[in-house]
Chain A
Amino acid sequence: MDSTIVILAICDGISYAALVFLVSVGLSLIFGVLRIVNVAHGSLYAYGAYMAATLSLLVAPISPWLTFPALLVASVLVGAIVGGLMERFLLRPVYHLEEVLQLLITFAVFMIMDNLQRMIWGVQPIFAAEPVKLLPNISILGVNYTSYQVLLLPLVAVITLFGLRYFLRYTLAGSIIMAVTEDREAATAIGIDARRVFLITFIIGASLAALGGALASPTTSLVPGMGTDMIVLSFAVAATAGLGQIEGAAVTALMIGLARAFIIYIQPELEVLVPYLIMMLVLLIRPMGLFGVNRVRKI
């Protein structure tokens, strides 16, 4: 394998990893606090993408540069409205039930959202590529890349990673979330309103999924079913990293992104298999994930 391929594969791997990280870190965060695996996470990704495309197409005639804030606004809108409603009215009533029932609620939401998406946005592929076109291409070893994909996406991912770290470690709201993650009973005992923490966390996690979708929207066709594969992929990343692990999700996303890119250069037939194979192997060796910590099992 020559060095050109290595460099190209790294460029491809990073931009892919950036999107995967954004989606899976949201999933991980929600699990860490609410102990719920949100099957509808991929649907939030799809809604983020569709909403971003809708807003972009709306503001592009005014100024194409407005499409960048449109991506952000779309993700926050989807996170707050869809995520907020979902937590408040569908998940809150079932927190006292078994985990499997909570999980199935999110499965039902996934089916409903998938269906509604077709009703709202139709089935024809939608494309809103303005943001990619505005930024220049850069040439790496004679191969053209869009700076949107190799610079902007990784940049947003890194900002999100450090932003989340800062928020969780150095702000009051973040510390409260961390406290609930560490020990829910103790946190509520000292007067923390767990219900509000759950709502806020779910909205943040949902917004991150939507942000992943919004950032993907300028490079991909939006089609029915686009969220279905994203769900398992983000599961794979989150589980491989260890559920609830934020830095771990970043490292794992990068690992899966790079492995996938190299495989496409070397043995493209194995591409689909890569994330699941990695997940399977890691979980067999380290059940809690690469970065997960063993919790004491309660008797």
Chain B
Amino acid sequence: MMRSITRLGVAAVAAALLALPAQAQDKPKELKIGIATFLSGPASVFGVPAKAAAEMIAEDLNKKGGIGGVPVSVSFIDEGAGGEALVSNYRRMVQDEKVDVTFAAISSGSCGQIAPLAEDLKMLNLMWDCGASSILEAKKYRYNFRSQANGTPEMLAVLVYLLKTKPDFKTIAVVNQDYAWGRESWEIFSTALKVMKPDVKVVAELFPKFGAPDFSTEVSRLLALKPDVVLTTSWGGDLDTLVRQAGQRGLLQQSAFVLGIGESSMQRLGKDLPDGLIIGARGDHWFLHPEMKNDAAFKAFNEAFKAKTGSWPIYSVYHMQQAFSAYQGAVEKALKANGGKWPTREQVIDAAEGLEFKGWGRGVSLRPEDHQGLESQLVGVSKTAPGYDFKVLDDMMIFEPKSITTPAGMKSVDWLKTLSPDFVKMNVPTFKHGG
């Protein structure tokens, strides 16, 4: 017993020594960025392009002199390797590799594991892609920020678009993947729908297994039920399969489809995606962004990405850019506030609160109260366009973040219940493809 107490004491002393915050920072030789992303499993459809983007962005950044004159380096850990490996590797990244910042992660499940850990380790973490609004609503963090929007504005934008363009529908069905995002996005969407258009009837709520290879039965059931609108917030292989099986059997023609985050599947679906489907993009992410498409740097980035990977960027690529931009912005702001001396991590975090930065869309800001990202949302419909062997977005609306994001301090579901049918009347600019 005595021995174990001594041992405990040694451990505590050792731990305390290692946890001492580094004082009086010198300018580092290198800024290490640790990134958690999916390199295996179904979500690697987002993770692998984002990894390619991160490498590209870091290289480009270093050519321009890095962040505050310091070059950056990136390292990756695989979210697909399971919870234990993720947590162990995150610790290794922070404690052994001594990274300066982490970007983690894609899945809300991973973010839920890493956010408290980053807090424990006093590590600045940018949640670069995960969408569950609840993570930052349930608890106030100091070290975690979200460098993009969350599920609430993403779903709300899609719903308002639907109500503006198809105001007369009477019935709706949902087919979502059975996991947190599928459930939570439907909760947001249906709660808001109920207050904005109370007469709509929900005729089917289908939550097929995540990664299900076959939706034939769901398609049959929807063909028999004939709902006016079918919503799905699925992504990856699940969405591709659903759209193709529905298309093969005429369901896409029978009901109006809303693909909540369909932007990421458009290039893969090619001609199998018909015209006229409502498509969301988890932010104002589109490689032909109407306000950005003539920007030379934007065009060069897209071309370079296409040359490197064979595809145009999807939203996860733009989210990765936003994480880099946010970190760069925070460090440079802190540098300035510190009179040109290299800032400590705490100073960088102080600078990040309320930071405004720009990725490849409209500006984004990090709300100081709860660290949520405020980001615009782009929604459009699919359309055949000359020069592309897949469908592009047309009749795009870009929503301002202020009007569609849950106010700080409120829970999304409570806030949504306070909305009214008039909410739809908000003024939103519309852009044509090529216009």
Contacts and interface: CB of A to CB of B under 8 A. Distances in A.
Do any beta carbons of A and B sit within 8 angstroms of each other in the complex?
yes
B17 interface: no
Interface stretch (A54-62, A122-130, A192-200, A286-294): A122-130
B35 to A, nearest CB: 16
Contacts of A129: 244, 248, 272
A222 B209 contact: no
Contacts of A123: 39-40, 44-45, 47-48
Which residue, A223, A230, A260, A264, has most C-beta atoms of chain B within 10 A?
A: A223
A34 B412 CA distance: 57
Nearest to A137: B249
B244 A127 contact: yes
Interface string B317-360: 00000000000000000000000000000000000000000000
B236 A223 contact: yes
Nearest to A213: B213
B274 interface: no
B112 interface: no
B41 A220 contact: no
B206 interface: yes
Which residue, A13, A118, A137, has most C-beta atoms of chain B within 10 A?
A: A118
Interface string A1-19: 0001100110111011000
A149 B241 CA distance: 14
Interface stretch (B121-129, B134-142, B215-223): B215-223
A269 interface: yes
A261 interface: yes
Contact of A219 (B207, B216, B224): B216
A269 B272 contact: no
A125 B236 contact: yes
A127 B220 contact: no
A11 B42 contact: no
Interface in A255-294: 260-261, 264-265, 268-269, 271-272
A60 to B, nearest CB: 13
Contacts of A142: 223-224
Which residue, A141, A224, A265, has most C-beta atoms of chain B within 10 A?
A: A224
Contacts of B217: 9, 12-13, 16, 260-261, 264-265
A220 B218 CA distance: 14
Which residue, B208, B217, B238, has most C-beta atoms of chain A within 10 A?
A: B217
A159 B208 CA distance: 31
Interface string B194-211: 000000000011111101
A132 B48 contact: no
A219 B240 CA distance: 10
A63 interface: no
A98 interface: no
Contacts of B237: 125, 220-223, 226
B191 interface: no
A116 B32 CA distance: 30
Contacts of B116: none
A238 interface: no
Given A4-B224, A145-B249, A146-B249, A221 B240 contact: yes
Given A125-B237, A146-B249, A224-B44, A269 B223 contact: no
Nearest 7 pairs of A and B residues by beta carbon: A223-B237, A221-B237, A123-B44, A125-B237, A12-B217, A144-B249, A221-B240
Given A125-B236, A264-B217, 10 more contacts: A12-B220, A124-B268, A137-B249, A145-B249, A219-B241, A220-B214, A221-B236, A229-B211, A264-B221, A268-B218
